[in-house]
Each structure stands twice: as structure tokens, then as C-alpha cells.
Amino acid sequence: MNASMWINNRSSLDDFILLGFSDWPWLEMPFFVIFLVAYMFALFGNISIILVSRLDPQLVRPQAYFVSNLSLLDICYTTSTVPQMLVNLRGPEKTISHWGCVAQLYIFLALGSTECILLAIMAFDRFAAICKPLRYPVIMNQRRCIHMAAAGWISGFANSLVHSTLTVVTPRCGRRVIDHFFCEIPALLKLACTDTTGIEAAFNVLGALLLLVPLCLILGTYVLIAQAVMKIRSAESRWKAFNTCASHLLVVFLFYFTAISIYVQPPSSYSRDRGKIMALFYGIVTPTLNPFIYTLRNKDVKAALGRARTREFWVKTR
């Protein structure tokens, strides 16, 4: 009896079955340890950045505000999938309830959509800081920052509602074995028992709009930033300006590379093994690396974390 048949006999008819690494059971314990450690690092790193961004008055407010939004998003991002993955790796049953699968699909996609928009907003913040330094406090005032971040979150969740609804209502004819770690659109559409050409076309259009439009805005913004920086006479000032953008550009590359490789393609051409690898990358690796990227590449954040280790810092924040 193969793994999927054995799991199928132990699960409720209303549950979805997440195969994960069931075909390679000897990998489950090593991956359990790796995912657990990565999840703890993601929580620790992102919570640390949120606390420091909120409490340290020396950080530049708009930038710190958006970085803390990204950290909050990454905490929710990993929490929406990793705990369920850990349970399935350690337990004999690799199942998730129907509504648990729907909630996981909606939340994970909503957070990913929000990150697309938030990264574009952060690029605009860098543009305003470097190209319009005298007007920066006016352009990126507190009220505008809140409105921009709120618009990103609302747009992300609205986009997810459309994608998730189209995915959930697709007839599956009783199919419920998902060859993946969690409930994701390409893997769920593989269960469809009807022609999904129309849905795939809709997803390609929506995915292109959500991924490629913000990416084009980010790239266009950095072209303007590069032009402005090259006009600076001091080599030290040019390097400092480029260095402030390096962490954001690295996060953009890590996120968009994996997201485009999965969502800007027909789900019918979805590769099982490639999809799992990409899912591990953008679902666990990237959210874990993000806080450390901002810590190592951003001198202000690094200095703030250093101050947070002193007793005087916590005395002042009381």
C-alpha cells in the first residue's frame, strides 16, 4: 500500500490530504527540525525588528514603519503554513480540514499579494528619501504612510478573495489528495475534474497585474534613484545612498523571483517538485532571511538593535 492510500484510509472524507514528503518518509524528521528552526528564527528576527522600529526614536520613521509592516506580514506568512506543515511531518495523518485549507489558501495568498504592493511602496519611500530629501518629511508624513500601508493590505486581501473563490468553487469530483505541503492555487487546480482554461487565463491576467505592475514600478523607481545618485559628486555619499537601497532590492529579488516562477504561468504546466522547492523558498526561506537582510545591510536598523541590547534603552522606553 503506497503512502497516499494509507493516509486516505485514516482521514475524514471532508479533509484534504497533504502528501508533502510522504513518498520520502526518511526526509520527514530532518525537514521537521529544519522547518522548526527556520520558523523560530523568522519569529525572533521579525518580532525584534517590530519592537525596535516601534520603540527606538532614532530610526527614520517612514522607513521603520514600512519595515515593521513587512516583518508583521512575514510573521503571519510563515504562521499560516509552517505550524500545519510541522504537525503533518511528525504525525501519521497528513490532513487538513476543508475550511482549514480554504483559510490557509486565502490568508497565504492575501499576505503574498500584500507584500507585492508593500515592496513597491517601500521603493517609493526610498525614492522620496534620496531624490526629494528636503520634501521627504512632507511627502512621507505619518498620515500618508498609514494610508499607503492600509491600501496595500486591503488590496492584497481583496485580490486574494477573488483568487481563492475561483479556486474553491472549481469542481473536484471528490478528489482531495494534494501533492504539496499546504493549500496553494496551482496544487488545488490540479484536483479539478473540469476544464480550467478560463480560470487559468483569469489567474494569469490577475497574477501579471499584481506581480508585474508593482515590479515595473519598483524597477522604474530605482532607475530614477540611480540617475539621481550618479549626479552626486562625493563617492562616499553615492555609496551611502546605494547602500540604503541594497537590502530592499535583495528582498525584492528573493520574493519576485519565486513568486513569478509559480504564479505567472499556466497551472496546467505546474511541476510538482519545482512547485515544492519554490514553496519552501518563498514560504519559509525568504521570510526567515528578510529581518537578517535588513539587519546586516541597514546600518540604522543594526545600530537600533545594538541599542536595544542595553539596559538604558528599555529604561527610556518605559
**Residue 306 maps to which CATH number?**
1.20.1070.10
Higher pLDDT, 176 or 309: 176
Q: Model's pTM, two decimal places?
A: 0.83
Mean pLDDT to the nearest integer, 146-173: 89
Tens digits of residue pLDDT in 36-46: 999 999 998 88
Taking alpha carbons only, the member of 284, 279, 255 closest to residue 19 is: 279
Q: What are the DSSP E strand ranges found in 167-300?
A: 177-178
Helix, strand and coil percent figures for the chain, each rounded to 5: 75, 0, 20
Residue 104 in grid coordinates = 490557509
Residues 18 and 190: their CA atoms lie apart, in Å, by: 13
Cα separation of 247 and 244, whole Å? 7
CA distances from 134 to 1, 137, 147, 218 (A): 70, 7, 22, 22
Q: Count up the domains in the chain and report the number.
A: 1
- Please write down the long-range contacts of 30-33, taking CB distance under 8 Å and 24 or more positions apart: 31/89, 32/86, 32/89, 32/90
- Domain region containing 117: 3-317
Residue of 108, 91, 103 whose CA lies nearest to 11: 91
Choose among 112, 103, 265, 94: nearest CA to 189. Answer: 265
Q: How far is CA 103 from the centre of its chain?
A: 16
pLDDT tens digits along 62-77: 878 888 899 999 999 8
Q: What percent of the chain has pLDDT over 90?
A: 16
